[in-house]
Homo-oligomer: A and B are copies of this chain.
Amino acid sequence: MGTVVSWKQLLLRALDSNSSLKHSSFFQLATVGSSGRPSNRTVVFRGFQGDSDKIQINTDGRTRKIEELKHCPFSEICWYFTDSWEQFRINGRVDVIDGSDPDPMKLQERENAWFASSLKSRLQYLGPNPGLPCLSEQPAQECSPDPSTGPVAAFCLLILDPDQVDYLNLKNNERLTFTSSKNVDGVKCWNSEKINP
């Protein structure tokens, strides 16, 4: 497998070749609700966690995906690059980090994610409860948050730890599947295989 590039290299290359498109950092995140039905929505890629292959997403803790992830912590990302015609399906477990997390390291990561996001992005966490009926009389909240203020209660960091990746290139009709396993030292290893598209 030494000659095959990793899915992370393929993904970084896709991000680079599609970087002129604002929506190239958008992907669809599927979860399973408590009813057992699937849910699916567009979210924004917020980078990898450090040098790892874990994927970061910011979200509002008041959205339905949080209760869904608490019920079933698995998710599949479907990320289609409209310019290079590449699709990544990334399946893994999602860690939900909110302000009540007992781990100081995770709270620090959440704070870093907050400060890495734009003031405009931060503003949306101060808005009314997403998904609840809109009270049209309610004046739009246009207060600007203090740039030095840390994460508000609604701010939540999701970290998806991939264990299976399916890569499809529609230009050359190539498809690769990447599967992770733990070696004897508990270190994650990836194996790849060429499969039929």
Which A positions have Cβ atoms within 8 angstroms of B? 21, 23, 26, 28-32, 36-42, 72, 74-78, 80, 82, 87, 89, 91, 124, 127-134, 136, 175, 177, 193-197
Q: Which residue of B lies closest to A42 (CB)?
A: B80
Return chain B residues, CB-CB under 8 Å to A127.
196-197
Return chain B residues, CB-CB under 8 Å to A133.
193-196
Q: Could you show 21 A-B contacts with beta carbons less than 8 Å apart? A: A21-B82, A28-B30, A28-B80, A30-B40, A32-B36, A32-B37, A37-B91, A38-B74, A38-B75, A38-B76, A39-B89, A40-B77, A40-B78, A40-B89, A42-B87, A129-B196, A133-B193, A133-B196, A134-B175, A134-B193, A134-B196
- Known contacts A130-B196, A194-B134: A80-B39 contact under CB 8 Å: no
Q: Which residue of B lies closest to A83 (CB)?
A: B23
- Pick the most buried of A30, A36, A77: most chain B CB atoms within 10 A of its CB: A30
Pick from B37, B129, B130: contact of A76, CB below 8 A: B37
Q: A85 → chain B, closest Cβ, in Å? A: 9
- Known contacts A23-B82, A26-B80, A80-B26: A136-B194 contact under CB 8 Å: yes
Residue contact A76 to B30, C-beta cutoff 8 Å = yes
Residue contact A195 to B31, C-beta cutoff 8 Å = no
Return chain B residues, CB-CB under 8 Å to A128.
196
- Known contacts A23-B82, A26-B80: A197-B130 contact under CB 8 Å: yes
Return chain B residues, CB-CB under 8 Å to A78.
28, 30, 40-42
